[in-house]
Chain A
Amino acid sequence: MLSTPALVLAIVLFGLGLIGLLSRRNILYMLLSLEIMLNAAALAFIAGGARWGQVDGEIMFLFILTLAAAEVSVALGIVLQLSHRFRTVDADALCELRG
């Protein structure tokens, strides 16, 4: 049964994506790390669906795919605006709100 190692792999991938999201300041890499984390969640769903022999895992994968496509299109538009206005892709450049 492969679902337990698949879940472990999902945890590892999610952790790697989280580390990348927290450690990189280039906004493009932060988006890539988000994609990795979404993929890890999708892998967890697929592993669960394979474990119980149900199709719900694959359906949730479809929705995660839809979410990732919508998210990435908007986020890449934001990256383009950022590079046009601030001439940088550094997420720390957006500090006007003093957050």
Chain B
Amino acid sequence: MEVLFYIAATVTVLATLRVITHVHPVHALLYLVVALIALALIFYLLGAQFAAALEIIIYGGAIMVLFIFVVMLLGPLAAEQERTWLTPGAWLGPSILALVLLGEVGYLIAVGDHTALTVSEPRQKGISIALYGPYIIAVELASMLLLPGLIGAYHLGRRMSKESRSC
């Protein structure tokens, strides 16, 4: 488990380094997706399976799709990168890092001695009970945060007409 953790940590740090040093937004997003998946594997190794699943579904799925939509919508500002998307340089690095992670997952499945790491029902039940017990105020606060987020995203995201742009 230690070796798996250190490999995943190396993948995370390398991918993050490429995110903050890359000039093409789509390439940086690919590397960030790999970093998030590696982080999900680290969460799994730390025993937080629920968090690992959420990391992949929400971070690697939903939030990254939002970013990719915005990069597409930026249009001419990001259009000059379109020609380079299909070159091997775009996907070779993320693919190699993702293959390392795939090898780790395959090893985890093949070894089969991870009984201590299987999804423990009492732990998931404990999360649910704590979430709607002592943390109920925080859940309400999260809902109060998400509604202004929705309204703000709608307000900021619509395309302003010419006459309303002046105000």
**Are B48 and A49 in contact (CB-based, < 8 A)?**
yes
CB-CB contacts below 8 Å: A46-69 with B: 46-47, 49-50, 55-59, 61-63, 65-69
**Interface mask (A1-30 → B, CB under 8 Å = 1, otherwise 0):** 011011001001100110110011010110
Contacts of A49 in B (CB 8 A): 48
**Would you call the interface of chain B mostly helix, strand, loop, or mixed?**
helix
* Assembly CA distance A67 to B144 (angstroms): 11
Interface size on B, residues (CB 8 A): 61
* Assembly CA distance A46 to B157 (angstroms): 33
Contacts of A89 in B (CB 8 A): 74, 77
* Assembly CA distance A63 to B145 (angstroms): 10
Contacts of B71 in A (CB 8 A): 28
Which residues of B line the A interface, CB within 8 A?
1-2, 5-6, 9, 12-13, 16-17, 19-20, 25, 28-29, 32, 35-36, 39, 42-43, 45-48, 50-51, 54-55, 58-59, 62-63, 66-67, 70-71, 73-75, 77, 123, 126-127, 130-131, 135, 138, 142, 145-146, 148-150, 152-153, 155-157, 159-160, 165
Which residues of A line the B interface, CB within 8 A?
2-3, 5-6, 9, 12-13, 16-17, 19-20, 23-24, 26, 28-29, 31-33, 35-36, 39, 42-43, 46-47, 49-50, 55-59, 61-63, 65-74, 76-81, 83-85, 87-89
Q: List 17 A-B contacts (CB under 8 A).
A: A6-B42, A9-B13, A13-B16, A16-B20, A20-B19, A20-B20, A28-B67, A32-B28, A33-B20, A39-B39, A42-B51, A49-B48, A58-B127, A66-B142, A73-B150, A77-B156, A80-B156
